Structure formats: C-alpha cells, structure tokens
C-alpha cells in the first residue's frame, strides 16, 4: 500500500533522517520508524483539534489514537492515526473508530459499558479467525526468506519475544502484521520474523509500504 505523505517533509535526529521527495519517503540512518510516523502525522493533520470531540488540544493532553486499535492488529501508519485528546483516547480503549463514535452518543453509562463489552467480544472473534481489524487491502503475505539480514536474538527484547510466543500459542497467529519498506527493510516485526523462522513458518502477514524506501547501506 502507499501511505499518506506530505508533499514536502524533513525529519532528523542524532543518528538518522527522513525526507519526502517526489512522493517517496526516504529513510537514512538509524531512525525510530514509529516516532517518525508520529511526527509526520502531526505535520499532516495538525495538533490543535481532537479528531473525536473537536475540542482544542492542550499540549499536555495531546496524543495520537490508533483508529484500528493496536491490540487487534492496528499499526502505526498515517491512515490509522489521528490527533486526539487523552480523554477520548482513554475512553476509546480497544474499540475501533466506528465503534467509539457509536459509544460516544450513548447517554446511559450502563448502556455504554454493555456496548463496550459487546465490541470487545466482536473484535476478539476476529482474532479467533486469525484476522486483524485493519482493512484487508492493507495486508499481504510476506516470505520471510526475503528478509535480507538475520537479527541477532540479543537485539530483541526477551520480554517482548516471550509475550509474542504466548500470543501465538493462544491465537495461532501473530498480533499484528510486520511493516516493510518497498525495498525490504522491516520497520516493525523483527521478533515476528525471528519466531516464524524458529517454527519454520515461511510466510507472515505484512503491510508493505510501496512509497517508503530505506537507504540500506546507511542502516547496516
């Protein structure tokens, strides 16, 4: 998929940079991809108004919401992120954008709670079917043998990896797709690839960003 990009954009930190040129996001050096995307979303969508309640966003009460929640496969790309206040973000929890908009107009606290519980049950059924809540057109199968480098296990958080193993044992699939650049750099999901190789699972779900390119030599 091609993610939403500004016409012009530049981002840098002490170890790397990223910039948009002719509709392509180029990433150089050691850049935290999620932080980069968060910064770009604020650049694209502003940071003054809550997407859900429309109130003015105070700096200390500002955050970004995953419209398709992380727990049900939501990933950090501009299409899935909206600036919002912390109150709306907290109220929404693991509901989708559509579910939360319905919840938000329910007047009774008891009915809100019941609706929320039903949403979680519905969303959990999706997990049982080995699916994500994000649009299916975002996702494709990715052959892990295409991954151009093996990540030393010491670079992967043991706690995070154990949590991934437990999740896979329970649901028999991974909690979210990996995120891959157009030229094969994995931004998110090294732990998933490591586990897939360990159990001889050849393919995993991935969101391939067709308009994002990593200058590999600068990141090796």
Three-state DSSP class for residue 120: helix
Domain with CATH 1.10.30 in the chain: 32-128
* pLDDT tens-place string over residues 98-115: 999 999 999 999 999 999
pLDDT band at 155 (very low <50, low <70, confident <90, very high): low
Mean pLDDT, rounded, for 144-151: 65
More confident residue, 146 or 108: 108
Stated pTM of the model: 0.92
Q: Answer yes or no: is pLDDT of 218 > 70.
A: no
Q: Which of 32-36, 96-100, 153-157 has the lowest mean pLDDT?
A: 153-157
Cα angle value 89/90/91 (rounded, 5°): 95
Domain 32-128 grouped into CATH 2.60.120: no
With contact defined as beta carbons under 8 Å apart, do 40 and 3 qualify?
Answer: no
pLDDT at 5: 98
Element (H, E) at 18: strand 16-21
Domain with CATH 3.90.1530.10 in the chain: 136-218
pLDDT at 1: 96
pLDDT at 14: 87
Rounded to the nearest 5 percent, the helix, strand and coil shares of the chain are 40, 20, 35
pLDDT band at 220 (very low <50, low <70, confident <90, very high): very low
Torsion angles phi and psi, residue 63, rounded to 5: -150, -175
If one looks up domain 136-218 in CATH, what number appears? Answer: 3.90.1530.10
């Amino acid at each position: 998929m091609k993610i939403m990009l500004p016409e012009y954009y530049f981002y840098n930190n002490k170890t790397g940079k990223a910039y948009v040129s002719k509709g392509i996001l180029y990433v150089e050096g050691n850049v935290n991809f999620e932080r980069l995307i968060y910064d770009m979303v604020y650049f694209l969508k502003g940071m003054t108004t809550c997407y859900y309640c429309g109130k003015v966003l105070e700096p200390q009460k500002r955050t970004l919401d995953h419209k398709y929640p992380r727990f049900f496969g939501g990933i950090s790309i501009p299409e899935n992120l909206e600036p919002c206040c912390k109150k709306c973000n907290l109220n929404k929890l693991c509901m989708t954008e559509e579910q939360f908009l319905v919840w938000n107009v329910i007047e009774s606290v008891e009915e809100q709670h019941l609706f929320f519980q039903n949403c979680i049950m519905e969303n959990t059924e999706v997990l049982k079917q080995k699916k994500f809540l994000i649009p299916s057109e975002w996702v494709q199968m990715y052959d892990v043998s295409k991954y151009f480098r093996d990540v030393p296990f010491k670079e992967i958080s043991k706690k995070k990896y154990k949590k991934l193993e437990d999740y896979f044992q329970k649901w028999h699939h991974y909690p979210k797709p990996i995120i891959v650049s157009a030229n094969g750099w994995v931004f998110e999901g090294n732990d998933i690839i490591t586990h897939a190789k360990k159990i001889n699972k050849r393919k995993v779900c991935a969101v391939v960003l067709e308009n994002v390119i990593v200058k590999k030599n600068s990141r090796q």
